[in-house]
Structure 1
Amino acid sequence: MSQSSALVARIIADDAIAMEQLRAVRSLDLPDWCIAAGFVRNRVWDHLHGIVPPREPVDIDVIYFDAGDVSRESEAAFEQRLGRLLPSLPWQVRNQARMHVWKELPPHRDTADSMVYWLESVTGIGVRLEVDDALTVIAPLGTDDLLNLRCRPTAFGRSRLHEYRARVEAKRWRKLWPRVNFIE
């Protein structure tokens, strides 16, 4: 694991609430899974801004890859199971084996491949809790932007700059994390 990925893992590991959420998702035994997006980005940026404890998430993005079952019903069942384990949390479970359809892309190969097609480099980062309690950081575009307080569109995001700009504004990231440098 790179030094930057190890730092991301340490920030998550030091957060008891994040670890409880990771344990809940691990219990589902999903294939090629992680908790990604704001779960990682927001915690790291809160940490780097000295915000303790980290703010509550708007949603908890659980992603996995299962080409054998791309039904929305399976995702809903996993959300319900997580809701029973940790009630009242904003779980959002999505099988990345079907996410290419609405983006009009070729099928994704795995979870990491799907994250390359997210709009921002700092969002395409996930963390998985392994059976031995080690954390694996999934970051197909790296973690440097996240740790260096830079937000930029991915190659896919550059093709949809209006969506990138709209997300940054709608989510109020500039206000929440004033030290972040937003790049186009």
Structure 2
Amino acid sequence: MKQQQIKDWISQDVMRMQALNAAQQLGLDDWCLAAGFVRNLVWDRLHNYRHSTPLNDIDVIYFNPQQPDADLDREYEQRLRDLLPLPWSVKNQARMHLKHQHPPYTSSSEAISYWVETETAIGVRLNEYQQLELIAPLGVDALFDFSITLNPKCGKPEMLLARAAEKKWTEIWQDLHIKM
């Protein structure tokens, strides 16, 4: 039921649907739009905001171990900006394990399962039938609990606290609380 609610909210958001359609045109392997793209929309709706809070970026993640070059990500970002002028950030998750000193990931879903906050580890994509699919390896329940929850796989409370402070989440969405 919560997953369907997220899909309904996304489908009603013109900018998010345009972004999903633009990203789908790249034909990336194992892709989704993740992090604040989903999280912020849910928090906005739970706080009864009339308008969506602005996104600092739109995280496009994909998984292609055959082409891990970061230059390709920048090419994809430019192609997306040409299609739709938004603040795109494209990252191939096949190399992101190196940055975080994890074992190699096997998919985008596994990669986001290591993100700092449980509420951030959610993505969405359009399938070949133009239907919304959620990628939520840690589930979606925490997203509806007005919480910012440390992902047990991350285990670094200082990272969660720093991110929450930097992004001013509890100022923007005042009903949120941090859970360790």
**TM-score, normalising length: structure 2:** 0.97
2:150 maps to which residue? 153
2:163 maps to which residue? 167
Q: 2:56 aligns with which of 50, 55, 58?
A: 58
Deviation at 1:48, TM superposition (A): 1.0
Q: 1:14 aligns with which of 12, 15, 18?
A: 12
Query: For the residues of structure 1 that align with 2:104 and 2:82, how far apart are their CA atoms?
Result: 32
Total equivalences in the alignment: 180
1:74 maps to which residue? 72
Deviation at 1:91, TM superposition (A): 0.3
Query: For the residues of structure 1 that align with 2:166 and 2:18, how far apart are their CA atoms?
Result: 29
The alignment status of 1:140 with 2:150, answered yes or no, reads: no
The alignment status of 1:106 with 2:103, answered yes or no, reads: yes
> What's the secondary structure of 1:58's corresponding residue?
coil
Deviation string 1:103-143 (CA, Å, 9 cap, x unpaired) is 11100010000011100000000000122121000000000
Pairing 1:24-103 to 2, within 5 Å after superposition: 24-87=22-85, 89-103=86-100
Deviation at 1:174, TM superposition (A): 0.5
Deviation at 1:11, TM superposition (A): 1.0
Deviation at 1:5, TM superposition (A): 1.2
Deviation string 1:15-39 (CA, Å, 9 cap, x unpaired) is 0110001000000010000000000
Letter matched to residue 153 of structure 1: L
The unaligned stretches of length 5 or more in structure 2 are none
Query: For the residues of structure 2 that align with 1:175 and 1:150, how far apart are their CA atoms?
Result: 13
Deviation at 1:157, TM superposition (A): 2.7
> What's the secondary structure of 1:140's corresponding residue?
coil
Q: Tell me if the contact between 1:44 and 1:147 (Cα under 8 Å) persists in the aligned partners.
A: yes
Q: Tell me if the contact between 1:100 and 1:107 (Cα under 8 Å) persists in the aligned partners.
A: yes
Query: For the residues of structure 1 that align with 2:15 and 2:5, how far apart are their CA atoms?
Result: 18
Q: 2:172 aligns with which of 165, 169, 176?
A: 176
Query: For the residues of structure 2 that align with 1:156 and 1:165, how far apart are their CA atoms?
Result: 16
Q: Tell me if the contact between 1:63 and 1:93 (Cα under 8 Å) persists in the aligned partners.
A: yes
> What's the secondary structure of 2:125's corresponding residue?
strand
The unaligned stretches of length 5 or more in structure 1 are none
Query: For the residues of structure 2 that align with 1:13 and 1:63, how far apart are their CA atoms?
Result: 20
Deviation at 1:68, TM superposition (A): 0.6
Letter matched to residue 101 of structure 1: L
